[in-house]
Structure 1
Amino acid sequence: MLHKLTPGALLALLSLAGCAEDLAPADAGTLPPTSGAFTHETGADGTITTTVDATDAEAWQRLDLDSGRSVDAGWDLAFRRFFVRTNGGVSGTAGVQVAVAEGAFEDVTRAPESGWSAARPDGEADDDEEPDTAFNDGEDDWYDYDPETHTLTPKDRVYVVSSSEGRFFKLQILGYYDDAGSPARLRFRWAEIAAPMSTLPDAGPGVTPDAGIGDAGVTPVPADAIEVDASGTEWVYLSVAAGVVAVTDPATSTDWDLALQRTDIRTNSGSSGPGFGGARRDERGLAFDAIEDASTLGFVTDAVRDGASPGRIETSVNPAFDGEGGSPAWYDYDPSTHRVTAGDRVYLLRMANGDHAKLRIWRWEDGVFHLSLAPIARRIETATLEVNASASDAWRYVSLRGDGVVEVTEAATDAAWDLGLSRTRLRTNGGTSGEGLGAAAESAATAIAELTSAPESGWETDVDSLAEGPPGSPTYSGNPALAGWYDYDPATHAVSPRAVVFALRSADGHLAKVQITSWADGVFRLQYAFAGPGATGF
């Protein structure tokens, strides 16, 4: 049976604790029965049992173990939903450390000599952005999670916490739900115990909690970040140069580069706008400030999202932010708390005019974004690709915009491809081969680096041509400018690529260049580069 903790009961409890000669006596009579979100009770064994209302997904409930009070400063543990934060390491300056003790709660009477840890940067074992602690690290959390019932069950584990005042407390989490089954009502028992026989190792310099928008010690939001309220039903439009802008008709305007609405993101491209926009995640592992340029390859344009999946509406978005294609969305979602947190990811943008920018979303709070957006340089790189086009009755298709070989079902209507290959035949996405703006021209360059600008003449679109073979061979749709890419030796029947570079127009009409460096029985090796939207040279 549990009783409310009275000053007299607390005196009795502290007199029991005082039996251990190494125990520093607590300040009797100062622990309130209720303090903020915390309610304290005392059990028959003299330990304190505390219940904390941690249901607010945005606010931390901070507890000072030395006084048992809810505090803003000088706290030891903080609670929010199922997260338990400690005031040390990357989470604060109080030097709080935690260790896992061996044995049952009743048997733990002295703090352990080893196994101590302070809060450390978030690792990759979980999907949140919280610092890793002895309570939460994604690999061995304080709870077991049942994916079928979506419930949390505390592990039978005793923690020992070194407080901000250098005292030691054992703590065991007993439950996460109240009697009605409501979550985030953490209940734990705790008591002061003797200090370890040796001095604890230094936890290292603490991190002063961020006083701004960001959580303490967790990727603080830069002071110059932009705050954008996209919590309503209307889209909010941004320009890299001007920030939030008013747009009357986004479907025809190139005054905007990025649009936000709740968790959805658009760029001025594809199904969202008339611009040269696009996006992709930066995979170089660089910090936001360290990114100075971006390759022209690999940008994804906007498309209408299928609304068939639960919780998703049919709307125009950029797939790079939406978690399609096997890559994560820009945010992390916790299904047990329904909490959205911004992922630790930097995105590369193509603006409406085709220039490049970088984007980092630092925080998201119910539709309010805190983000950084800045222009960067455009970098043109040469890629190498091998394409097996050895089947005479099939075509292989390539995107010169960065996707490499792409699967195409209806080549005549699919805008995903720029170059088609089958044996020695080549085509572009234009003319008789596709609905795109594809075309090709042979240049005077003999090496791919030599071609620096688009040819002024010689551009041809696809037409129906006779296939190689005896008289009566069928026709095929191909590009005449590309037909002379190889030399043929009739004596040996050898096909060898000429030292020639071709300029191409992609399906969306932008400049690329291609050189075939080898061919073996239908297997091509290509070098190619994409100038990017609006560019007239490399």
Structure 2
Amino acid sequence: MRTHEETMTRHSGQQGLWVLAAVVVALMLMVNCDSSDDDPVPDAGVADAGTDAGTQCLNEVSCKDQSIDKLTLLTTVSTGEVREEQAAQGEFRTYIDARAGGLTPTMSYTYARFTPQGLAQVSVDDQAALARTDWDIAFRRYYIRVNSGTSGPSCVSVATTPEGTTFESVTAVASTWEFKTEAWYDPACTFSPDDSGLNGPLMRLSTFWTYTSCVQMTGDVFVIRLADGRHVKLEVTGYYDPTPQQVCNETGSVPQPSGSGQLRVRWAFLP
């Protein structure tokens, strides 16, 4: 009898272990089935250059028709080049051909997204870009806009650092910075112009330049929050070719030819 009871106890214990194992396996299957492609990327800092990181914040662009008219948003894709130039380790210096065909644009903005390899160009026209989340930033002449609010369906936002902030001094995101999306129209589609006197739209990066008799760089440093939560610090260093830009900054006038509309930006990812 004792032997029989010991045998029953061993069998019962083994059966219990099998049941416990089955429960664990079932729970693992439930977790895997609950996963989806919409889950956040665990390490957004090394996202692939082709990742459409803005899909989690697809929004309806407000006052779309008004923006198409006011900003002259076109359907011809820009042929402007985007390329990386020599830069210190850990940062990028990017050239963007934002001439768009001249002072009266015949081409769209030049669209791009921030990647660990540099600023990657996105081939899209202005009107199609209003429904696309695969771009972060767009350039045309002295206008630079990000993909959010009245500019696009994503949720890229911008904070302007305090006056006098240098690019090198920005090493982390401050809790006091206020990040804002593009909003050159209010909910009633009332237009907000910048202070250039040209009646252009008030964009979040509009203060990168000021005008006397040429486009001077202000040295403003911006921090851009991307749709996937990464942060980029950015300074626009040139609207003209480097030598004419230096002369413009120092004297308020620019020699010709100036190479206008060929922007250069300095930027880096923040931890």
**In which range does the TM-score fall when normalised by the shorter chain?**
0.3 to 0.5
Q: Which has the higher strand share?
A: 1
Could you say which structure has the greater relative contact order, defined with CA pairs below 8 angstroms and 6 or more residues apart? 2
Q: Which has the higher helix share?
A: 2
TM-score by length of 2: 0.47
Structure with max Cα Rg: 1
TM-score by length of 1: 0.25
